[in-house]
Amino acid sequence: MSVSSRSFVRLPPGVRDFLPRAAARRRAIAERLLAEFEAWGYARIITPVFECADVLERGLGEDARQAAIRFVEPGTGEVVALRPDITPQVARIAATRIAEVDGPLRYCYEGAVTRMPSGARVQRELLQAGVELIGAGAPEADAEVISVAVASLATMDIEHVRLDLGHVAPARCALAAVEDLDRRADIARLLAKKARAEVARAAAGLPATVRAALEALPTLLGEPRAVLRRARALDWPAPVRAALDGLEEVLALSRQVVESEQHATIMLDLGEVRGFDYYTGIRFSGFVDGVGEAVLRGGRYDDLVACYGRAAHATGFAADIEAIAEAQATRGIALPTGAAAVLVVATQRRRREAMRIAAGLRAQGVRAAVDLGRRRGRAALATYAREVGFTHILSLAGSAAEAASCAGPDAAAPPPRQVSQASLRRAAGGDARALAAIFIHAQAGAGASSRPRASTKRRA
How is 3-64 classified by DSSP, letter by letter? HHHHTT----TT-----HHHHHHHHHHHHHHHHHHHHTTPEE----SEEEHHHHGGG--HHH
- Confidence label for 88 from pLDDT (cuts 50, 70 and 90): very high
Side-chain-side CA neighbours of residue 275 (13 Å)? 16
Cα-based distances in Å from 28 to 273, 386, 406, 439: 34, 17, 20, 20
For residue 443, what pLDDT is reported? 84
Helices (H), 364-414: 378-387
Per-residue pLDDT reduced to its tens digit, 145-177: 999 998 898 888 887 888 899 999 999 999 999
For residue 458, what pLDDT is reported? 31
- Higher-scoring residue by pLDDT: 412, 224: 224
Predicted confidence (pLDDT) at residue 410 exceeds the cutoff of 60: no
For residue 265, what pLDDT is reported? 82
Residues 238-250 have a mean pLDDT of: 94
Residue type, position 287, single letter: F
Instruction: Please provide residue 391's backbone torsions phi and psi, each rounded to the nearest 5 degrees.
Output: -100, -25
Per-residue pLDDT reduced to its tens digit, 250-286: 998 888 777 666 456 888 999 888 777 789 999 999 9
- Higher-scoring residue by pLDDT: 5, 245: 245
Q: Print burial letters for 381-390: b (CB count within 10 Å at least 16), e (below 16).
A: bbebbbeebb
Predicted confidence (pLDDT) at residue 78 exceeds the cutoff of 70: yes
Cα-based distances in Å from 185 to 206, 273, 282: 15, 11, 22
Per-residue pLDDT reduced to its tens digit, 27-71: 999 999 999 999 999 999 999 999 999 999 898 887 788 888 898
Q: Is the Cα torsion angle 317, 318, 319, 320 positive or negative in sign?
A: negative
The DSSP bridge pattern shows strands 105-114 and 43-44 to be: parallel
- Indicate the DSSP class of residue 118: B
Task: Report d(CA 295, CA 109) in Å as an integer.
Answer: 16
Cα-based distances in Å from 228 to 168, 220, 285: 14, 8, 18
Range of lowest pLDDT (15-29, 208-222, 307-321): 15-29
Burial class (CB in 10 A: 0-12, 13-18, 19+), 434: middle
For the entire predicted model, the pTM comes to: 0.83
Full strand arrangement of the beta sheet holding 79-82:
50-52, 79-82, 69-72
> Could you give the domains of the chain?
20-170+217-330 (3.30.930.10), 341-448 (3.40.50.800)
Question: What is the three-class DSSP state of 233?
Answer: coil
For residue 445, what pLDDT is reported? 73
Predicted confidence (pLDDT) at residue 306 exceeds the cutoff of 80: yes
Percent with pLDDT over 70 in the chain:
90
Ramachandran sector of residue 205 (left: φ over 0; alpha: ψ -120 to 50; beta: rest): left
Predicted confidence (pLDDT) at residue 121 exceeds the cutoff of 90: no
Residue (of 34, 53, 56, 55) closest to 45 by Cα position: 34
Instruction: Please provide residue 132's backbone torsions phi and psi, each rounded to the nearest 5 degrees.
Output: -135, 130
- Confidence label for 457 from pLDDT (cuts 50, 70 and 90): very low
Predicted confidence (pLDDT) at residue 451 exceeds the cutoff of 70: no
Per-residue pLDDT reduced to its tens digit, 131-146: 999 999 889 999 999 9
How is 409-433 classified by DSSP, letter by letter? TTS-PPPPEE--HHHHHHHHTT--H
Residue (of 345, 383, 335, 344) closest to 366 by Cα position: 344
CB 70 within 8 A of CB 81: yes
Predicted confidence (pLDDT) at residue 5 exceeds the cutoff of 60: no
Residues 306-313 have a mean pLDDT of: 92
